[in-house]
Chains A and B, each alone.
Chain A
Amino acid sequence: MRRRNLGPWAVFGALSAVFLVMTLDRSALAAFLSALFPREGELLYPRASLVVLVGEHLSLAAISSLLAAAVGIGAGVLATRPGLETFASAAGRLAAVAQTVPPAAVLALAVPAVGFGFAPTVAALFLYSILPIFRNTMSGLAGVDGEVVDAARGLGMGRARILRTVELPLAAPVIVAGLRTAVVVNIGTATVGATIGAGGLGAPIVSGLVNQNPAYLTEGAVAVALLALAVDSLFAAVGKSLATAAPDRAEGSI
């Protein structure tokens, strides 16, 4: 009796459509910007097309988020295994410290170590986004009904199988909520990477600020905002369908 709710998917579809038109149709974008800034001579950021910038931006956010997901989910699983309570509190504190350091500071510190560009930006975003994923994985797994796990053990399932077929599916809505927070924050924060030459949608924003060109700035800012909203709505839709699959557990974060 699973009901399919298509609402969240429709929101995702609409946002991605707007975003794609903006990215792919340069003349439409130029028309939009000239309507906003009629006295501006140069409307489109000249050094790279939006397609390239979006590509750079997405790889920054995606690579850092994937790394953070691997580490955050892995640590969250370890932290909830019996006998590893000390690890849990240590990892929790470390992740909290990593999130307290502002990404701009990480960038400044990373440049002397690994140089300018892509790598230090990914490192900063990675560090910044471990905490929400780790914390949600932990609380999602801790929230799985102990009786259900007891029944699984009593029926003869091994530890790995219980994790894979019982605990992770039941914790999935909460874990996905953590991923959502991390990825959306990373998409926004990745703009900072432009200050150290990582490219991405931060580049037209920085250039617009430097050259006092509001059209460049708007191009970058609107694209980042739409990208973040589209990805956020994608996670909302995925989270919703997971919550329907495990109906007694509400979707949510901590």
Chain B
Amino acid sequence: MIRFEGVSRKFGEVLAVDGLDLEVFDRELCVLVGPSGSGKSTVLRMVNRLVEPSEGLVFVDGREVGSLKVETLRLGIGYVIQGVGLFPHLTVAANVAVVPELLGWPKGRIARRVGDMLELVGLDPGRYGRRFPFELSGGEAQRVGVARALASDPPILLMDEPFSAVDPVNRLRLQTEFLAIQRTLRKTVVFVTHDVDEAIRLADRVAVLKSGRLIQYDVPETLLERPNSPFIADFVGADRALKRLSRFTVRDWMQPTAGTTDAAIAVDLDASLRDALSTMLGSRARTIRVHDRDHRPAGEIGLQDIERAAECGTR
């Protein structure tokens, strides 16, 4: 669990973080979101002491981070950054092995772990292990970044705009894959983004920041239904109902009656209901087919299923 108590941070005369009180709960994915300059990255970087607070205290598992040896603290916290920051002179496998090696794991255990991690993020260890970062696409590099952060199985994961540099299609896939990983691993995650849609889609709880101050901290449903200020209402946008739909997946609301619809239009099993609705509106169809990753038919989903989801408050 991560706790901020009255934390402020000044850079010169600029107050980047202003009197922050925030608690990130165990095994939750907490998204810090806000416009640029809201201080969200600074908040994240104070957890692993890449930035030290000017005032106030940060606690990880009840211990004040300033009281811990900085390397020890960081070795227990996974870290993923926007530009990935893979070591360009090391292979993919060596990149993933960095933290286990710092921890002095035996060679065999490291090799097994590297293989497991690459498989976890959907990369074939045999194909990718010996490649260099410059031989990877943006999405693949981002996956390696996640694998590297998870390699020593740290309880906490810090992710600073990890998917911002990839194109929208790949971003959606990375988000879906990461959600699936998070559902099994249940890490305590602090995730920074400037993208409200990404925040709503991924978060267990969203903290909206503005000019270094925490404006609202709630589960996404509450944030969308009861914004506490005009700023939040404006920030989440007028398409709140649609944003809520982005938290539901087709998989959970479709009818598994494969092959009954002859509609030509299809949507992916892991797509959100928002995407499904968009596909329906775009194709003027009230019902569309659902297929899995390998384009095998999995069922169908209709407008009434989406309405059902929209009326239902929670996931």
Q: Answer yes or no: are A and B bound together in one complex.
A: yes
Contact B88 A170 (CB under 8 A): yes
Given A151-B79, A245-B89, verify A156-B74 contact (CB < 8 Å): yes
**In the complex, what residues of A have CB within 8 A of residue B77's CB?**
156
| Cβ contacts B40-68/A at 8 Å (1 or 0 each) | 00000000101000000000000000000
**In the complex, what residues of B have CB within 8 A of residue A153's CB?**
50, 74
Contact B158 A166 (CB under 8 A): no
> Which residue from B85, B88, B130, B131 sits with its C-beta under 8 Å from A248?
B88
Given A166-B87, A246-B89, A249-B88, verify A157-B102 contact (CB < 8 Å): yes
Contact B50 A148 (CB under 8 A): no
Contact B132 A1 (CB under 8 A): yes
Given A1-B132, A1-B135, A247-B134, verify A156-B89 contact (CB < 8 Å): no
Residue with the highest number of chain B CB atoms closer than 10 Å, among A151, A170, A245: A151
A25, B81: Cα distance in complex, Å: 62
> Which residue from B48, B82, B131, B135 sits with its C-beta under 8 Å from A154?
B48
The reply on A152 being an interface residue by CB < 8 A is yes
Interface residue count on the B side (C-beta < 8 Å): 30
**In the complex, what residues of A have CB within 8 A of residue B85's CB?**
145, 147-148, 150-152, 154
The reply on B71 being an interface residue by CB < 8 A is yes
**In the complex, what residues of B have CB within 8 A of residue A247's CB?**
88, 132, 134
Contact A148 B75 (CB under 8 A): no
Contact B89 A158 (CB under 8 A): no
The reply on A117 being an interface residue by CB < 8 A is no
**In the complex, what residues of B have CB within 8 A of residue A147's CB?**
81-85
| Cβ contacts A213-254/B at 8 Å (1 or 0 each) | 000000000000000000000000000000001111100000
Name which residue of chain B comes closest to A144, CB basis. Answer: B88
**In the complex, what residues of B have CB within 8 A of residue A105's CB?**
none
**In the complex, what residues of B have CB within 8 A of residue A158's CB?**
71
> Which residue from B82, B135, B148 sits with its C-beta under 8 Å from A155?
B148
Contact A154 B81 (CB under 8 A): yes
Contact A152 B87 (CB under 8 A): yes
The reply on A169 being an interface residue by CB < 8 A is yes
Given A154-B50, A155-B148, A156-B75, verify A169-B135 contact (CB < 8 Å): no
A166, B87: Cα distance in complex, Å: 7
Name which residue of chain A comes closest to B48, CB basis. Answer: A154
**In the complex, what residues of B have CB within 8 A of residue A145's CB?**
83, 85, 88
Give the Cβ gap from B144 to chain A, nearest Cβ, in Å: 11
A124, B130: Cα distance in complex, Å: 47
Contact B131 A156 (CB under 8 A): no
For window 109-152 of A, CB contacts with B under 8 Å fall at 145, 147-148, 150-152
Residue with the highest number of chain A CB atoms closer than 10 Å, among B82, B102, B131: B102
Interface residue count on the A side (C-beta < 8 Å): 22
Contact A170 B89 (CB under 8 A): yes
> Which residue from A152, A154, A157 sits with its C-beta under 8 Å from B158?
A154
Contact B89 A154 (CB under 8 A): no
Name which residue of chain B comes closest to A154, CB basis. Answer: B79
**In the complex, what residues of A have CB within 8 A of residue B79's CB?**
151, 154-155
Contact B88 A155 (CB under 8 A): no
| Cβ contacts A147-187/B at 8 Å (1 or 0 each) | 11011111111100100001001100000000000000000
The reply on B1 being an interface residue by CB < 8 A is no
Give the Cβ gap from B256 to chain A, nearest Cβ, in Å: 43
A183, B136: Cα distance in complex, Å: 38
A161, B134: Cα distance in complex, Å: 23
Give the Cβ gap from A243 to chain B, nearest Cβ, in Å: 11
Name which residue of chain B comes closest to A157, CB basis. Answer: B102
Give the Cβ gap from A172 to chain B, nearest Cβ, in Å: 9
Give the Cβ gap from B89 to chain A, nearest Cβ, in Å: 4
A29, B16: Cα distance in complex, Å: 75
Contact B87 A1 (CB under 8 A): no
A157, B72: Cα distance in complex, Å: 9
For window 83-135 of B, CB contacts with A under 8 Å fall at 83-89, 98-99, 102, 130-135
A166, B89: Cα distance in complex, Å: 8
> Which residues of B pack against A, CB within 8 Å?
48, 50, 71-75, 77, 79, 81-89, 98-99, 102, 130-135, 148-149, 158
Q: Give me the 3 closest cross-chain CB pairs, A-B, nearest first.
A: A151-B85, A156-B74, A154-B79
Can you show 23 pairs from A to B with CB atoms below 8 A apart?
A1-B131, A1-B135, A145-B83, A145-B85, A147-B81, A147-B83, A151-B79, A152-B87, A153-B74, A154-B48, A154-B74, A154-B158, A155-B75, A155-B79, A156-B72, A156-B75, A156-B77, A156-B99, A161-B102, A166-B87, A170-B89, A248-B133, A249-B88
In the complex, besides A155-B99, A155-B102, 10 extra interface pairs with C-beta distance below 8 angstroms are A145-B83, A148-B85, A150-B50, A154-B48, A154-B50, A154-B85, A156-B73, A156-B75, A156-B102, A248-B88
